[in-house]
Chains A and B, each alone.
Chain A
Amino acid sequence: MSFLINPYIFGLDLGFWTNLLFTSGKIVTGFVATFTDALTVNWGDGTTTPLTSGVSVNKTLGTTNGIELENDNAVVTKIICGTSSPRLGGTINLSAFPNLQEFRCNSNDITALSGYAQNSNFKNIQFFDNKVIGSIPSLSALNNLENFYCYSNQLTGSIPSLSGLIRLQNFVCHSNQLTGSIPSLSGLNDLQNFSCLQNQLTGSIPSLSGLGNLRIFYCYSNQLTGSFPSLSGLNSLIDFACYSNQLTGSIPSLSLLSNLRIFRCNNNQLTGTIPNLSGLNNLQFFYCYSNQLTGSIPNLSQTTDLIDFRCNNNQLTGSIPYLRDCFFLENFVCYSNQLTGLIPNLSGAYVRSFYCYSNQLTGFAGENVSGYISNSLGDFRAENNLLTANAVNAILAAFVLANKTTGTRILNLGGTGNASPTGQGITDKATLISRGWTVTTN
């Protein structure tokens, strides 16, 4: 039996490649590999090399159209090649390897890959970061498939049906030019990671019901419409991102998603309220900005791991919640809403930026107490509110007391609606400027 890999050869059978140089259809030089099975390599230039298990070969080649591998008993189960320089190009047909379980040839310049769609032995197919064109073939015969990574190619057409691929754990097809809708994920109970971001997908997000092992779901930067699916029961979910689509309806309940760390639904057309975030003890990033959300910002006293919260550019009302329990909070962004009440205690050790401008805030929680501003806070924007002179003076005093003298130092209390500083407030503004702050007041 002989295997013809035409026009290019990669590693095989647990082999690895350390120096494989190809350019535009020609093998130019350098071939180092280790095989675990005895093979004979016909180099395409009239010479052959017998290879035994564990033996490396270092072959300098002239130009050739292919390399033939001969071994009547060889069972090739893996083809793995690393990134070469210049990158490996051309087309690959895997039909000569009926026993392949794994093919990995990432970060090269492959333009076409075929001959794998009928091989039910496949568990792992990876060809991300290449230049593969055309559509993804039907995968319905790959009923042992666990991982399929085709991201960052030039694939067109639709995502094929994944129905019946019950062992599928990772399906990653982002950053292509795929169209059509996201296929049904029903019954893919082992699915852990589904990523189809940055394509041109339309339709709605499919039901995620029953995907109890799903950890990552990325569908952002497509043209998806319709409403949010229920996230109930996705107890393994860590990172969910559907931002920059055209989704409507409300954000679903996130209660009981105790592993959720990152939730991003910004830049859609969502309405309704921000759901209750209590109990999401691992939540670190929550972005719902640039929607049409109403109601108030929820209680954040139990989201103690929160690092970054952004709800700007909505129609939120009510007050800014107590943030002092968010010990790790770095950024809080709530500008361009209709918030009222007080700017809260911002003495958290890590808080760096607080943007509450263009609301209707009137006061500061630290007007009669000191220490409500952390010395890590260096980017504070509260312009275009309704802050009283007492509030403006208290904020200036709090920043003077915090005594931040390095890094970013920006304080904006100007704009329409805020009062001007008075008395000690004017002196405090001068003190901050002398410490390198950029300060704007009315």
Chain B
Amino acid sequence: MKIYSNQNVNAEQIIPFPDEVHTTELDWWMIYDADTKVITIQPIQCSGYTSSPLTMVIADTEEELEQYIADHALKIGDS
């Protein structure tokens, strides 16, 4: 898990407007629209460099992301 300057007290990292954020194959992450609270990429485990105009959340486990979704009342998007 990488450390970001906006790390909160929980394990997950919340990154608005990620710019080539690197994740490993062990990281769980998702993307959501902070304005609408709609999730556009549901929790996945995938390595790579991600950029987005939305908000990225990275965690160690899928359960952490599910808790984040519940805590923030996020909604599943419809592609």
Contact = CB atoms under 8 A, between A and B. Distances in A.
State yes or no: do A and B come from one complex. yes
Interface of A: 352-353, 378-379, 383-384, 408, 410, 412-416, 429, 433, 436-442
Nearest to A407: B79
Contact of A433 (B46, B52, B79): B52
B14 interface: no
Contacts of B47: 414-416, 442
Nearest to B21: A440
A113 to B, nearest CB: 39
Nearest to A418: B48
10 contacts: A410-B40, A414-B48, A436-B53, A437-B52, A438-B51, A438-B52, A438-B53, A439-B52, A440-B48, A442-B49
Nearest to A330: B79
A352 B31 contact: no
Given A415-B25, A415-B48, A352 B53 contact: no
B77 A439 contact: no
Contacts of B46: 383-384, 412, 414-415, 440
Contacts of B25: 415-416
A437 B31 CA distance: 11
Contacts of B41: 410, 412, 438
B77 to A, nearest CB: 7
Contacts of A412: 41, 46, 48
Contact of B49 (A410, A414, A436, A437): A414
A383 B50 CA distance: 12
Contact of B40 (A383, A408, A414): A408
B74 interface: no
Interface size class for chain B?
A: 10 to 19
Nearest to A421: B49
Pick from A352, A429, A436, A438 the residue with the most CB of B within 10 Å: A438
A378 B48 contact: no
Contacts of B79: 352-353, 378-379, 408, 410
A302 B25 CA distance: 39
Contacts of B54: 438
A408 B52 CA distance: 12
A340 to B, nearest CB: 21
A188 to B, nearest CB: 39
A353 B79 CA distance: 7
A255 B32 CA distance: 43
A76 to B, nearest CB: 49
Contacts, number: 55
B42 to A, nearest CB: 11
A440 B53 contact: no
Contacts of A416: 25, 47
Nearest to A412: B46
Interface string B19-33: 000000100000100
A341 to B, nearest CB: 22
Nearest to B53: A436
Interface string B35-75: 00000110000111111111000000000000000000000
Nearest to B18: A438
Nearest to A434: B53
A309 B52 CA distance: 28
Nearest to A438: B52
A428 to B, nearest CB: 12
B77 A414 contact: no
Contacts of A352: 79
B57 to A, nearest CB: 13
A412 B79 CA distance: 14
Nearest to B77: A408
Given A433-B52, A436-B53, A438-B41, 4 more contacts: A412-B46, A414-B47, A415-B25, A416-B25
B12 to A, nearest CB: 18
Most chain A beta carbons < 10 A, residue from B31, B48, B53: B48
Given A384-B46, A414-B46, A439 B51 contact: yes
Contacts of A438: 31, 40-41, 50-54
Contacts of A442: 47-49
Contacts of A384: 46
Given A408-B79, A415-B25, A416-B25, A440 B49 contact: yes
Contacts of A433: 51-53
A413 B48 CA distance: 8
Given A352-B79, A353-B79, A441 B31 contact: no
Nearest to A416: B25
B24 to A, nearest CB: 10
Contacts of B40: 408, 410, 438
B78 to A, nearest CB: 8
A416 B27 CA distance: 13
Given A378-B79, A408-B79, A438-B31, A383 B48 contact: yes
